[in-house]
Amino acid sequence: MLCPRVLEEIGDDYWPHIVNEDFMLDFFIDLDFMMAQLSVAAAMNILCVFRNPPAQPVAPANHANFVFLGYDLVDVQGSASALTNCGGFPDVFDNPELSDLGLIAVHSRATQIQARLRELHPQEPHADCHVWAIFRSSAL
């Protein structure tokens, strides 16, 4: 949901280098390993993400030079953003709160929206969501 996959399939040697959880098999925990698997340097976004961080996270200091973009609230199935793909929740947040990228800028506001979505819309599957902090590489 965050971006299309750049590797066609998951090789047997990937398992120690990826998140081994439900829909997250495309999420690498080892940037150098992932970059070594890419056969060509195509135009792509390399993201560093944190799911439900307890506070504003800090991206790793490495050659990728990650820049913080904001927070998304993605349903627990990983299928849709509660901020931009669900038609809005005007009783929880106002669309002008979203950045040009459709993200929330401040951690405390993102977690507040997460709690209010669950409280006010318990029957809405997209309201049960994770807060994702998103960083994009500015070096690749």
Quick one: CA dihedral 25, 29, 34, 35, positive or negative?
Answer: positive
Average pLDDT of the residues of the chain: 84
Query: Which region among 15-29, 69-83, 108-122 has the lowest average model confidence (pLDDT)?
Result: 15-29
Which tokens belong to 105?
Answer: 């800028």
Q: Would you kindly state where each structural domain of the chain is located, as residue ranges? A: 45-137
% of the chain with per-residue pLDDT over 70: 83
For 37-59, the pLDDT digits (tens) are 776 666 777 888 899 999 999 98
Spatial separation of the C-alpha atoms in residues 40 and 127, rounded to whole Å? 38
Q: Considering the entire predicted model, what is its pTM? A: 0.83
pLDDT beyond 60 at 22: yes
Spatial separation of the C-alpha atoms in residues 134 and 140, rounded to whole Å? 16
